[in-house]
């Protein structure tokens, strides 16, 4: 469980990046909702990765 929690931030970043790549391939780059959700996932993933790894190593 600790390993999954440690990688939660990376998983969120990868999900956000996959959504962005899928939007790019399908040509659906004008939908602000999908782009907003994907960038929010990347930002939340980055912040959670930093915070969770700081807490686990302490």
* pLDDT at 58 (0 to 100): 58
* pLDDT at 57 (0 to 100): 65
Residue in this structure with the two tokens 């602000």, named with its chain if needed: 32
By the 10 Å C-beta count (0-12 exposed, 13-18 middle, 19+ buried), 53 is classed as: middle
Q: How does DSSP classify residue 1?
A: -
pLDDT digit string (tens) for 2-55? 777 788 899 999 999 999 999 989 887 788 898 899 999 999 999 999 998 888
Count of positions (residues) in the chain: 58
Pairwise CA distance, residues 6 & 56, whole Å: 8
């Amino acid at each position: 469980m600790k390993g999954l929690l440690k990688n939660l931030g990376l998983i969120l970043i990868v999900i956000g990046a996959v959504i962005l790549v899928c939007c790019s391939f399908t040509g659906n780059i004008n939908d602000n909702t999908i782009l907003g959700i994907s960038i929010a996932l990347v930002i939340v993933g980055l912040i959670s990765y930093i915070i969770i790894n700081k807490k686990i190593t302490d």
